[in-house]
Amino acid sequence: MRFWKFHKWMTLALVFLLLLPVTSRSVQAETSKQAITITLDGDRISTDVAPYIIPKVYVTMVPLRVISEGLGASVDWQQTTKTVKIDRDGSSMSLTSGKNTAFVNGSYVDLDASVQIKNGRIMVPLRFVGENLGLQVLWNQSAQSIALLSGSYIPNLPNPAEPNQPGSGQQSQGLHGAWISTVTNLDWPSSKAVGKIDQQKQEFVSMLDKLQAMGINAVFVQVRPAGDALYPSDLVPWSKYLTGTQGKDPGYDPLEFMIEEAHKRGMQFHAWFNPFRASMDTVKSKLAANSVANEHPDWVVTANNQLIINPGIPEARQHIVDVVMEVVNKYNIDGVHMDDYFYPSSGTFNDDTTYKTYNTSGLSKADWRRDNVNQFVQQLGQSIHAAKPSVQFGISPFGVWRNKATDVTGSDTKAGVTAYDSMYADVRTWIQQHWIDYVAPQIYWSMSFKAAQYDKLVDWWAAEVAGTGVDLYIGQAPYKLGTTEAGWQSSQEIINQLKYNEKYADIKGSIFFRAMNLINNPLGLIPALTAFYQQ
């Protein structure tokens, strides 16, 4: 019996010893095979404990020292509750070991990973902490590096020549635009700047400086994200993305400010309208009294958990024309721009009653819907050109008009959604009738994506505008860089696309979706794009 007990004890000890290297290797794997580097506004942050990535949730953990010394935040660790409180520039948060929520600026926020204590060191999730301190957090997979950018940081890049001058790499190569999304505070203003005039202005100025430094010479700013306005309007309420409350005056005129700042830099300013979206959700109680959803509920259809203005109602279309013309008449804009949101591309859109009421020509529902959008585009284009002939009117439709299998004159693609059949956007008619000055198809696929290949689509659109007098800008997709979709594993994809565009004289430039996807420098795009535009 004693021998058996001794033998059993020795066996367990050997198993334990054998497991030690395995455990060590697993910890090393967790801390990543290649050391993760961290920079703040281009300067390296040193850390005595290696950051590591938590598997499955892909959260990068860093020692608390990175937050206190590297980011200059105030930190307070309470050992008894195992809670850390972090403060910086008016932002405050508390994270507790083992809890899946954090207390941020007075509210509880869900966490993918909270505080961990490793070998006596306190480790915190870098992205969560950084973003809630107002920093951009950029991950470079190939380099295993994290770049933290403050709102005031401007990349140290060669400055392009003055805009509109020969050799500037700007006007000589056409329009280099960037979409600036305001819906849900995507690009501007940031959620941290809601209700803060000075911070909103500073963010926009910084954004323009960064964009111009890389060669962008035009901005397409979303001034009507959802039945609202980023300017004082007699027709629609103030956007909630400025103050947090729809209808609340932000205390200044953001549109006037943005136009002035863009023109100061010689950059074009295009006012981007989402025409038919009335609200991003269906909660009418949070909408202002003068929201179209409250004033004209009969104009509004619920679809895909949003409120959509029905394009089939003539008075509703006229309302949107009036909204756009208010901006055209009051502001010194260079263009009016619309995206691809006409009829929803999926789900059910209940317009049976409208169809019966207004379909006086006996059209099929699909043709009737396209006719509604056609009437809207024609009327708006005529109104803009009559009031200010110098203001350009353009639309950025979905990148595939129709598939060749459906229409022999369509593109050699196999897209599941098309502009003509899904959004009821008869872009060909708009071009041939010259109701628009330019078209900017969103060709958001790579050269190697077989179902909708970039070069094949560029060929198709170039042929479509040839001889019409309508300019062609290509909608580019830097937001896809670094994703798993075919072709987006290198920033050279964007450069190759821009080079391909040069084949066609009818292509007058590009618009990038979207501003922060340029500024975030995905896969090192900024220096490559800057060099391309300065060549």
pLDDT digits (tens, 9 = 90+) for 97-115: 989 888 988 878 888 888 9
**pLDDT tier at 143 (50, 70, 90 boundaries)?**
low
Q: Which residues pair with 302 in a beta bridge?
A: 307
Q: Which residues pair with 403 in a beta bridge?
A: 411
187 and 86, same domain (yes or no): no
273/342 Cα distance (integer angstroms): 11
Q: Which of 115, 150, 185 is the last residue of a domain?
A: 150
Q: Which helix (H) or strand (E) holds 39?
A: strand 37-40
The reply to whether 282 falls in a domain is: yes
The reply to whether 29 falls in a domain is: no
What is residue 111's predicted lDDT score, i.e. its pLDDT?
Answer: 85
What is residue 113's predicted lDDT score, i.e. its pLDDT?
Answer: 87
Closest-CA residue to 333 (of 274, 376, 388):
388
Residue ranges of the alpha helices (H) in 157-271? 197-213, 240-243, 254-264
For residues 471-479, give the mean pLDDT: 98
Residue 473 belongs to domain with CATH number: 3.20.20.80
What is residue 191's predicted lDDT score, i.e. its pLDDT?
Answer: 95
412 and 512, same domain (yes or no): yes
The reply to whether 476 falls in a domain is: yes
310 and 259, same domain (yes or no): yes
**pLDDT tier at 14 (50, 70, 90 boundaries)?**
very low
125 and 233, same domain (yes or no): no
254/241 Cα distance (integer angstroms): 12
Q: Which of 116, 135, 150 is the last residue of a domain?
A: 150
Phi and psi dihedrals of 397, rounded to 5?
Answer: -75, 165
pLDDT of 131 over the 60 cut:
yes
304 and 403, same domain (yes or no): yes
What is residue 159's predicted lDDT score, i.e. its pLDDT?
Answer: 38
Encode pLDDT of 304-318 as tens digits. 999 999 999 999 999
The reply to whether 163 falls in a domain is: no
Q: What is the pTM of this model?
A: 0.72
230/187 Cα distance (integer angstroms): 14
Amino acid at 489: Q
**Percent of the chain's residues with pLDDT above 70:** 88
For residues 54-65, give the mean pLDDT: 83
214 and 127, same domain (yes or no): no
**pLDDT tier at 139 (50, 70, 90 boundaries)?**
low
Higher pLDDT, 396 or 125: 396
pLDDT of 409 over the 50 cut:
yes
The reply to whether 127 falls in a domain is: yes
**pLDDT tier at 140 (50, 70, 90 boundaries)?**
low
101 and 196, same domain (yes or no): no
For residues 33-52, give the mean pLDDT: 81
The reply to whether 155 falls in a domain is: no
What is residue 91's predicted lDDT score, i.e. its pLDDT?
Answer: 80
Amino acid at 395: I
pLDDT of 2 over the 70 cut:
no
Considering only 29-33, 382-386, 496-500, which range has the smallest mean pLDDT? 29-33
Higher pLDDT, 57 or 475: 475
214 and 116, same domain (yes or no): no
pLDDT of 370 over the 90 cut:
yes
108 and 186, same domain (yes or no): no
Encode pLDDT of 495-519 as tens digits. 999 999 999 999 999 999 999 999 9
For residues 147-168, give the mean pLDDT: 46
**pLDDT tier at 476 (50, 70, 90 boundaries)?**
very high
183 and 142, same domain (yes or no): no
Q: Which residues pair with 110 in a beta bridge?
A: 101
473 and 352, same domain (yes or no): yes
What is residue 24's predicted lDDT score, i.e. its pLDDT?
Answer: 34
pLDDT of 66 over the 80 cut:
yes
Full residue range of the structural domain in which residue 373 is found? 175-534
Considering only 132-136, 345-349, 437-441, 471-475, which range has the smallest mean pLDDT? 132-136
Encode pLDDT of 226-283 as tens digits. 999 999 999 999 999 999 999 999 999 999 999 999 999 999 999 999 999 999 999 9
Query: What total number of domains does the chain contain?
Result: 2
For residues 393-399, give the mean pLDDT: 98
For 42, other C-beta atoms within 10 Å of its C-beta total 11
**Percent of the chain's residues with pLDDT above 90:** 70
239 and 102, same domain (yes or no): no
What is residue 534's predicted lDDT score, i.e. its pLDDT?
Answer: 86
Considering only 129-133, 169-173, 184-188, which range has the smallest mean pLDDT? 169-173
Residue 80 belongs to domain with CATH number: 3.30.457.10
What is residue 185's predicted lDDT score, i.e. its pLDDT?
Answer: 97
CA angle 404, 406, 409 (to 5 degrees): 45
**pLDDT tier at 428 (50, 70, 90 boundaries)?**
very high
> Mean pLDDT for the chain?
88
The reply to whether 113 falls in a domain is: yes
Closest-CA residue to 375 (of 304, 335, 330, 424):
424
The reply to whether 58 falls in a domain is: yes
Q: Which of 133, 150, 167 is the last residue of a domain?
A: 150
